[in-house]
Chain A
């Protein structure tokens, strides 16, 4: 269970917002984190705290395949993103690096930035303002990726049968 502060960025948060293209040459994850969400909120990186949760509306993470985007978020301390829907490549990238991308109906209309939000992945429940919301169950494989800390570890552990 995680009890955290929410950051709501609304619909269509694209990868150029999450990490603008001009920073793609950076390879140090900590440096990437300094520019996380810069396209929407240049103060995000200095105000975000470890364990905070990002909220989105529909099509979160659309655009580029750049893994720099979820990496920038991860090294900003984000390990859960809850949105109404995700773009395909971002969804995969998030799980691959150990961020849980959780789909939950209407979430962007129920939570404001600064609100408190409780996410219980094991029970598949979210608690906001005393209201319990259910989340779309994760496919078995995605759960396993999260449990093993992402695709790097997963391959390390299962290379024989991969």
Chain B
């Protein structure tokens, strides 16, 4: 019997020949990442475990991204504690408020490589499966155990295979594909599972698009999303990573708990409606929904290609005076490239506010909070009630192209007709 990529990576890190879904294994961690809001809790948990130092300061990364720069004394104090811990522990890598969102910064800076086992004290750590890594989000006490020992227990997940055949049409993007998949699978349809994305659409997809897919695995309850390493992965990693990639492929007779075939050709722009990510509609079904705030950014869709589409749609145009548009590049690297390419000027000329690379409006921390009764349109990954501010606000999710087209009109607008 064959095994999936996820099973092979877990087996290797648990020092076993193979592992079966449902089995509980203890595995060695290659990299542990904790962002500002959870790092201190994790570190305190490690101390409570009676351990005084992290297991390997070259394998632990703290990163300040969720509220950056700080907005009040409380989170300023949290940042101060993170800096002190990183300094005292002599962490080899520490990223301050000038870096960007953790899930963008880690791969950009060469910390993520195929075959690794990565844990992050953030639920969207599954994003890194785009690089053929087994990457999953954990809570602070689990992270405390990792900081203390470099190991963690895992229940080996079953794998769901998504086969996306055909290719996405003009102005339809990986975000539309993953929203469609979320609709099919449901917000809890992949609980405890690894989601493996395969098929022609994925083979032709950029790294950025694959990250968008894997990023949203958690929105279906997934433990991780994963894409087999290929030339596109290796091309991105060239000159970034030091480690030799350890490439795993799923066997042809591997066991999947579910196989879902999706025809990408047929997908039209998708919108996830309040207040649940799987409440997804074809954009053509929606009737003039007025919006107040648009957020383009986050670890789902704040990358260079996202800003490129946005700029292409907004070039020489002015956004509707009914909306405010916040654009937040996912990292300083993205920001710099967007500046060099002249994208930022186009966006500012169109009326956008550019925020510094960080999580920004994504989780309602800062940089654009919704008031009661307001409607937000966002390229991020979650539209739970209260996620971006008031619980009496509504949030819709979409691709950057749909967000940009909607910025011009003030209502949710199909990017194919603009």
Contact = CB atoms under 8 A, between A and B. Distances in A.
Interface of A: 12, 14, 16-17, 20-22, 24-27, 39, 58-59, 62-68, 70, 85, 87-89, 92-93, 96-97, 139, 141, 150-152, 155-156, 159, 162
Interface string B375-418: 00000001011110001000000000000000000000000000
B284 to A, nearest CB: 27
A17 B142 contact: no
B104 interface: no
Contacts of A155: 49-50, 144-145, 148-149
A38 B287 CA distance: 32
B221 A92 contact: no
User: In the complex, which of the residues A27, A62, A85, A88 has the most CB atoms of chain B within 10 Å of its own CB atom?
Assistant: A88
B75 A25 contact: yes
Nearest to B122: A65
B386 A92 contact: no
A89 to B, nearest CB: 6
B140 interface: yes
A89 B123 contact: yes
22 contacts: A12-B276, A14-B384, A16-B387, A25-B67, A58-B188, A62-B187, A67-B38, A67-B140, A68-B41, A85-B188, A85-B191, A88-B221, A96-B141, A96-B142, A97-B141, A139-B24, A151-B45, A151-B141, A152-B45, A155-B148, A156-B49, A159-B51
A138 to B, nearest CB: 12
A152 B141 contact: yes
B26 A162 contact: yes
Contact of A156 (B50, B67, B78, B218): B50
Interface string B43-63: 011001111000000000000
A150 B139 CA distance: 13
A24 B354 CA distance: 24
A159 B148 contact: yes
A58 B191 CA distance: 11
A97 B140 CA distance: 10
A156 B66 CA distance: 31
Contacts of B211: none
A64 B123 contact: yes
Interface residues of B, number: 52
A25 B37 contact: yes
Interface in B239-273: none
Contacts of A87: 188, 191, 221
Given A92-B138, A152-B48, A25 B72 contact: yes
User: In the complex, which of the residues A27, A39, A65, A141 has the most CB atoms of chain B within 10 Å of its own CB atom?
Assistant: A65
Contact of A92 (B51, B74, B139, B218): B139
B221 A62 contact: yes
Contact of A65 (B26, B138, B382): B138
B391 to A, nearest CB: 6
Given A21-B364, A64-B122, A65-B38, 16 more contacts: A16-B386, A17-B384, A20-B386, A20-B391, A21-B365, A22-B365, A25-B37, A27-B44, A96-B141, A150-B141, A151-B141, A155-B49, A155-B144, A155-B145, A159-B148, A162-B149
B112 interface: no
A25 B74 contact: yes
B223 interface: yes
Nearest to A23: B74
A135 B173 CA distance: 43
Contact of B123 (A27, A39, A65, A156): A65
Contact of B384 (A16, A24, A162): A16
